[in-house]
């Protein structure tokens, strides 16, 4: 179902979900589109339009039922569909993402990490093993590791200078999506989708005023 | 100068800069707008338009001089203007960002970290001290720590459930920008700018097809 929802709406709905999770934690039962819009400094007609993309029983005169709307967004965005990922680069950022507890709530399961540093190979990070990158092809096709589920997502956290070489190694695996946290632009075939997290671009953009 | 450049162009120019850094590393002297556009799968007229926002001596018939264009982008985006930041939350992600070597190349200097965990207080992360969050007001006005430079940026890496409370503590400091890595939407006064990194929204968006 998530396929039918435009990218920008997916991002906004995720933010609404953060707000609704907060409501649940604080036992707030209802929330209005105006309240959500106010927190995000956007128009409340936009909020109502986005919510209409999810199947929900709708508003009452005191606003949306927070728990119900939260569940509807989870369903629409597919939080319950587990997606498996490898982390390529078991340095500081890679290890931090492997330990990121929020990921699992959103359906992202880190299966294994890869690195070239002998000191890191065979260590565990949050219960996940670090393999040598040369084992990628073997691991990515080994059924028992991934419960017969293909791993199609790679989270790239190597140094910028190693990013392109690492991306090329991924072509041997079943990876279809590269979530690129490195300061490098990757050259990959068209059948691989790359999302550039571009941390420095975001930083420079939002601090420019 | 960066103020005159629209946000989307800032983000694209940062990606061009990643490409040009790669050229420098590999002793590639010239690059064309078509080559840059090809790597990013965008239109090359867009690339030329963005580059025109930077003061550069322009193209030759074999393309832009990579080193020169790299420098022009650095100047236009203000990489050399040091910006100081605190990291709020010295957990895995906060510590990883404090150790992120790329940040300094882009003008971002982490001055100190803050946490509430007694085990972390007074430890060093990449040479930067972890303070108790209750010291924030004192530290943010202590001139010697920050070389008389105000710290206006906070990188928020606490758990989602602690995000709003942490943001409220920041109101006592001179923080003007919050770079929010938590899965929480913050309620802050209008004079504080928040950039939601929204990792899960990015992930759900790019893996939806």
Q: Give the per-residue pLDDT at A128.
A: 94
Instruction: Report pLDDT for A1.
Output: 46
Residue B10's nearest CA partner among A173, A201, A206, A179 is: A201
What CA–CA distances, in Å, run from B83 to A102, A117, A164, B80, B109? 29, 32, 29, 9, 6
Give which of B207, B208, B209 to mutate to test A binding, by max A Cβ within 10 Å. Answer: B207
Strand partners, A130: A113
Contact B22 A206 (CB under 8 A): no
How buried is A75 (Cβ within 10 angstroms: 0-12 exposed, 13-18 middle, 19+ buried)? Answer: middle
Q: What is the model's pLDDT at position B80? A: 80
**Which residues of chain B fall below pLDDT 50?**
1
- Whole-number Cα distances in Å, B114 to B91, B125, B139: 10, 11, 10
DSSP B95-137: HHHHT-THHHHTTEEEEEEEES-TTTTT-EETTEEEEEGGGHH
Instruction: State the smallest CA–CA distance between residue B107 and chain A in angstroms.
Output: 9
Query: What is the rounded CA–CA span in Å between residue A142 and residue B120?
Result: 39
Asked if A125 contacts A113 with a C-beta cutoff of 8 angstroms, the reply is yes
- Whether the CB-CB separation of A19 and B185 falls below 8 Å is answered with yes
In whole angstroms, give the CA distance from residue A146 to residue A85. 10
Nearest to B179 among A11, A12, A203 (CB): A203
Q: How far is CA B64 from CA A149, A183, B23, B60, B68, in A?
A: 46, 21, 11, 6, 8
Q: What is the pTM of this model?
A: 0.89
Query: Where do the domains of chain B lie, and which CATH numbers do they carry?
Result: 2-77 (1.10.10.10), 83-203 (3.40.50.720)
- How many CB atoms sit inside 10 A of residue A119's CB? 8
What does the block give as tokens for A25? 């934690």
The whole-number pLDDT of residue B206 equals 86
User: Using a CB-CB distance cutoff of 8 angstroms, which residues of chain B are in contact with residue A179?
Assistant: 202-203, 206
Partnered with residue A65 across adjacent β-strands are A30
Question: Bridge-partner residues for A125, per DSSP?
Answer: A128
Element housing A75 (H / E): helix A66-77
Both tokens assigned to B5: 């450049």
**pLDDT at A136 (0 to 100):** 87
Over its length of 209 residues, how does chain A's per-residue pLDDT go in tens digits?
455 899 999 999 999 999 999 999 899 999 999 999 999 989 999 999 999 999 776 667 788 999 999 999 999 998 888 889 999 999 999 999 999 877 888 889 999 999 999 999 999 999 999 999 998 888 777 655 555 567 899 999 999 889 999 999 999 888 999 999 999 999 999 899 999 999 999 998 888 76
In angstroms, what CA-CA distances link A150 with A77, A83, A95, B204? 20, 9, 22, 18
In this complex, do B97 and A95 lie within 8 Å of one another by their Cβ atoms?
A: no
Report yes or no: B183 and B160 within 8 Å, Cβ to Cβ.
Answer: yes
Q: What is the DSSP letter of A138?
A: H
- The reply to whether residue B96 touches residue A92, judged by beta carbons under 8 angstroms, is yes
Nearest CA in chain A to B207: A177
Q: Which residue reads 């080559």 in tokens?
A: B35
H helices within chain B, ranges in order? Answer: 7-25, 33-40, 44-52, 66-77, 92-98, 102-105, 136-140, 163-170, 199-206
């Amino acid at each position: 179902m998530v396929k039918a929802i435009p990218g920008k709406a997916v991002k906004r709905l995720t933010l609404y979900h953060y707000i609704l999770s907060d409501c649940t934690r604080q036992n707030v039962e209802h929330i209005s589109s105006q309240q959500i819009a106010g927190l995000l400094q956007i128009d409340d007609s936009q909020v109502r339009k986005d919510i209409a993309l999810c199947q929900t029983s709708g508003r009452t005169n005191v606003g949306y039922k927070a728990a119900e709307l939260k569940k509807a967004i989870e369903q629409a965005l597919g939080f319950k569909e587990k997606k498996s990922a490898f982390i390529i680069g078991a340095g500081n950022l890679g290890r931090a993402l492997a330990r990121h507890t929020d990921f699992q709530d959103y359906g992202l399961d880190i299966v294994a990490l890869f690195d070239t540093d002998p000191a890191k190979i065979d260590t565990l990070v949050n219960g996940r093993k670090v393999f040598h990158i040369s084992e990628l092809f073997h691991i990515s096709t080994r059924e028992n590791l991934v419960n017969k589920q293909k791993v199609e997502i790679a989270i790239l956290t190597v140094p910028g200078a190693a990013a392109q070489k690492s991306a090329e190694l991924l072509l041997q695996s079943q990876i279809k999506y590269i979530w690129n946290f490195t300061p490098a632009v990757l050259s990959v075939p068209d059948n691989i989708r790359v999302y550039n997290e571009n941390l420095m671009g975001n930083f420079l953009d939002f601090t420019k005023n």
